[in-house]
Amino acid sequence: MSANSRLTIAAHTLAWIGLYQRQGHAVATSEQIAGSANTNPVVIRRLLGELREAGLVESRRGGGAGWSLTRDLKAMTLLDVYDAIEPGPLFALHRADPDQGCVIGHGIQPALQDVYAGIECTVRQELSKTTLEDVLQAVLAVPR
């Protein structure tokens, strides 16, 4: 099982757009962002579509097409980004009910529900403490 990097790529995207706008540019293209993230522009466009649905970015078509933030990075938290791109719980139980005749099958879901709920609560609390401005400032503080 591999780790999910969607939150990281989405935070990268928003921080990049925020910095680019501060440098006087009105919009950023998915190709520009993809170059920074070293990924395919299609990946960026898909994430941007989800971020647009959540109201974090907007797009322009035609001449001067591209993406811009809908609000300041100080007003966006990692939780906002997470909620935009990661629907559903962090951990899931079985897709089909396990064998209720088996002692493990019968008890595994109740045993893990509270654990998973506690983890989810902690993750959400931690993500809500960090704004995208915090992320950008930490990025800019990394020595080159």
The pLDDT assigned to 2 comes to 55
Give the tens place of pLDDT for each residue, 67-123.
999 999 999 999 999 999 988 888 889 989 999 999 999 999 999 999 999 999 999
Specify the higher pLDDT residue, 45 or 91. 45
Q: Are strands 66-69 and 57-60 parallel, antiparallel or unpaired?
A: antiparallel
The pTM score is 0.88
- Whether residue 35 has pLDDT greater than 60: yes
Question: Whose structure tokens read 């941007």?
Answer: 48
Average pLDDT, the chain: 94
pLDDT beyond 80 at 3: no
Specify whether the CB–CB gap between 68 and 74 falls below 8 A: no
pLDDT confidence bin for 11, thresholds 50/70/90: very high
For the cut 90, the answer to whether the pLDDT of residue 126 exceeds it is yes
The whole-number pLDDT of residue 1 equals 47
DSSP helix, strand, coil percent of the chain (3-state; round to 5): 60, 10, 35
Give the pLDDT score at 90: 85
Mean pLDDT of 30-40: 96
Query: Which tokens is 122 given?
Result: 């902690």
Contact 44, 33 (CB under 8 A): yes
